[in-house]
């Protein structure tokens, strides 16, 4: 949903909600003469305090994203083959949409590693989202092959440690980990297409994008923010 639609929705919700109340807390019907007066008061308040609109928009958007995640949790949290680490039946799953050419993803990798070491009940699932060009796409193919061959985490860490996923870097990581290349895999294409659909559904604007519990965090938010989101998800179980 775009910002204009969200703005209209929030405005309708605020004014509509006001029209359902009076000072004593009873409901106001559509025909009640107080309704127009109450809506006018709310409208004037919004005009006098427009700073509440961005917060209301964000809350509405968060609520919508939470429903998308809740309705499709298995699709987000079920890894492709071995593209996961941590507790197989962890009580919280942290999903990362990533791109090997993304410097922010590379920067976030140590945060993920730290969380895995500290939290024995955490499961991390990685979803390939190669949005940064041909090198990203080529790296994702080898990465998915590594996931099929039970070598994902080793390849993942090796390639990120190498820097940008140039053909030379990808080949070196593949050979070092012992990943057998797979060419033109329909299964890999289907997986990446699915990841694009999942990312669009939560309005992901780039990588990394994290999903944990019912929250979406975009960008290299850092160890503390991820830890807090994990704790929040765990508290709701």
Q: pLDDT digits over 111-151, tens only? A: 999 999 999 999 999 999 999 999 999 999 999 999 999 99
Q: According to the model, what pLDDT value does residue 74 have?
A: 97
Q: According to the model, what pLDDT value does residue 184 have?
A: 81
Any idea what DSSP says for residue 175?
H
Q: Tell which residue, 139, 156, 147, has the closest CA to residue 80.
A: 147
pLDDT tops 80 at residue 196: yes
Q: Tell which residue, 143, 123, 135, has the closest CA to residue 192.
A: 143
Distance CA 107, CA 97 (A): 14
Question: Which pLDDT band holds residue 4 (cuts at 50, 70, 90)?
Answer: very low
Q: According to the model, what pLDDT value does residue 65 have?
A: 78
pLDDT tops 80 at residue 56: no
Once rounded to an integer, what is the mean pLDDT over residues 50-63? 67
Assess contact for 96 and 128: CB atoms under 8 A.
no
Average predicted confidence (pLDDT) for the chain:
87
Helices (H), the chain: 3-18, 34-48, 52-71, 73-77, 103-118, 134-148, 152-162, 167-177, 186-201, 223-235
Mind listing the domains of the chain with CATH numbers? Answer: 3-66 (no CATH), 74-235 (3.40.30.10)
pLDDT tops 50 at residue 6: no
pLDDT tops 60 at residue 17: no
Q: Quick one: what percent of the chain has pLDDT higher than 90?
A: 69
Torsion angle of the four alpha carbons 181, 170, 185, 128, in this order, in degrees rounded to the nearest 10: 140
Whose tokens are 């809740």? That residue is 70
Single pTM value for the model: 0.78
Question: Which pLDDT band holds residue 33 (cuts at 50, 70, 90)?
Answer: low
Q: According to the model, what pLDDT value does residue 1 have?
A: 46
Assess contact for 188 and 81: CB atoms under 8 A.
no
Once rounded to an integer, what is the mean pLDDT over residues 206-228? 97
DSSP 101-124: T-HHHHHHHHHHHHHHHH-TTEEE
Question: Which pLDDT band holds residue 19 (cuts at 50, 70, 90)?
Answer: very low
Distance CA 33, CA 222 (A): 52
């Amino acid at each position: 949903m775009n910002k204009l639609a969200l703005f209209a929705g929030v405005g309708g919700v605020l004014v509509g909600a006001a029209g359902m109340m009076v000072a004593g807390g009873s409901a106001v019907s559509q025909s009640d003469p107080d309704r127009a007066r109450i809506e006018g008061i709310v409208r004037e308040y919004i005009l006098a305090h427009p700073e509440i609109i961005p917060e209301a928009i964000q809350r509405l958007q968060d609520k919508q994203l939470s429903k998308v995640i809740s309705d499709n949790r298995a699709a987000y949290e079920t890894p492709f083959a071995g593209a996961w680490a941590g507790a197989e039946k962890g009580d919280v799953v942290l999903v990362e949409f990533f791109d090997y050419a993304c410097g922010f993803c590379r920067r976030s990798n140590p945060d993920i590693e730290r969380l895995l070491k500290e939290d024995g009940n955490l499961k991390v699932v990685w979803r390939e989202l190669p949005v940064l060009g041909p090198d990203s796409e080529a790296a994702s193919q080898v990465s998915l092959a590594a996931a099929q061959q039970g070598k994902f985490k080793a390849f993942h860490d090796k390639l990120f440690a190498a820097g940008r996923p140039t053909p030379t870097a990808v080949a070196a990581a593949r050979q070092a980990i012992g990943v057998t290349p797979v060419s033109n895999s329909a299964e890999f294409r289907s997986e990446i297409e699915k990841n694009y659909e999942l990312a669009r559904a939560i309005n992901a604007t780039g990588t990394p994008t994290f999903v944990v519990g019912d929250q979406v965090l975009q960008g290299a938010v850092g160890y503390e923010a991820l830890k807090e989101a994990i704790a929040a998800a765990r508290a709701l179980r």
